[in-house]
Amino acid sequence: MNQTHIINDITFEWDSNKALLISKTHGVTFQECATILFNPTTITKQDYRDYGERRFISTGCSDKARILTVVWTERYDKIRLITGFLASKDQIKEFYYG
């Protein structure tokens, strides 16, 4: 079941079952994951794998001052969050040092 949330006038969407799983396994919520997309220091790259849609991988600082990595796509006029987790050591290093 899809959930829709409006954060800073942007519409986000995610699967509620996936959100529960992400929260339990990775200790982050999709609400927190969405906040990194508003941070101007966030690094975003296109995912090179073929999922039948363009996906992006973003690493940035959340509103809780945690460095997260979020996979997302654009669907119609919404940003659909696919997954999110605490960034790995390599992702953190890339975030800070490029």
Question: Given this model, what pLDDT does residue 98 score?
Answer: 84
Determine contact, residues 19/4, Cβ cutoff 8 Å: no
Tell me whether strands 67-75 and 78-86 are parallel, antiparallel or unpaired.
Answer: antiparallel
Question: Given this model, what pLDDT does residue 1 score?
Answer: 87
Checking if the pLDDT of 4 tops 90, the result is yes
Checking if the pLDDT of 23 tops 90, the result is yes
Residue-wise pLDDT tens digits, 42-80 = 999 999 999 899 999 999 999 999 999 999 999 999 999
Radius of gyration, CA atoms only, the chain? 13
Q: What's the chain's average pLDDT?
A: 96
Q: Edge-to-edge strand order for the sheet containing 10-15?
A: 2-7, 10-15, 78-86, 67-75, 55-61, 43-46
Look up the pTM and report it. 0.93
Listed in sequence order, the residues at least 6 apart from 29 whose beta carbon sits closer than 8 Å to its beta carbon are: 19, 22, 23
In the chain, where are the structural domains located?
A: 2-97
